Amino acid sequence: MIKVFRINTGSCGGCDVEIAAAIESSTDLAWAETPESADALLLTGPITASSQPAFQALYDALHHRVPLLAVGRCAIDGHPFGRGGVAAQAQEFAGRRLDGCAPTPSAIAEAIRQLVVEQTL
């Protein structure tokens, strides 16, 4: 079972709904109770100024153990909200990026699986 923890840093909620659908429709995916117990961290939202310090602290604490998947266009580069996402951060964030507004549940589930497989290699 792959355990997933979602981090919303200011999204519209569209990707969050699709992530929930991906988890609920998959037999091999489940919600993690805490970021530390997750096999994958899923980022949604453009990383607003108010969410950036908390996201950075979580990423710094876990990125060596738990891979990050930026889900949706705004998590990647802030579109349509303007600048933002992992592309606008001073630090390069490791992990994968899944484009779309919003990506489909099947694309999200497959990206999670690939992310976790890559982490174990």
Q: Is the dihedral of CA 56, 10, 98, 7 positive or negative?
A: positive
The predicted model scores a pTM of: 0.92
pLDDT, one tens digit per residue, over 102-121 is 999 999 999 999 999 988 77
pLDDT, one tens digit per residue, over 15-26 is 999 999 999 999
d(CA 65, CA 34): 14
Query: How many angstroms separate the Cα of 117 from the Cα of each of 8, 36, 47, 55, 65?
Result: 24, 18, 26, 24, 13
Across all residues in the chain, what is the average pLDDT? 92
Q: What is the CATH number of the domain that holds 72?
A: 3.40.50.12280
Question: What pLDDT does 34 receive?
Answer: 97
d(CA 62, CA 90): 18
Give the count of domains, the chain: 1
User: Which residues, at least 6 apart from 66, have a Cβ–Cβ distance to it below 8 Å?
Assistant: 5, 35, 36, 38, 39, 40, 41
Question: What pLDDT does 89 receive?
Answer: 78
Residue 94 has pLDDT above 70, yes or no: no
- Alpha-carbon torsion angle 99, 59, 26, 46, nearest 10: -30
DSSP 3-state of 53: helix
Range of the domain at 48: 2-120
Of 14, 21, 16, residue with least CA distance to 80: 14
State the pLDDT confidence band at 93, using cuts at 50, 70 and 90.
Answer: confident
pLDDT, one tens digit per residue, over 54-88 is 999 999 999 889 999 999 999 999 888 777 888 88
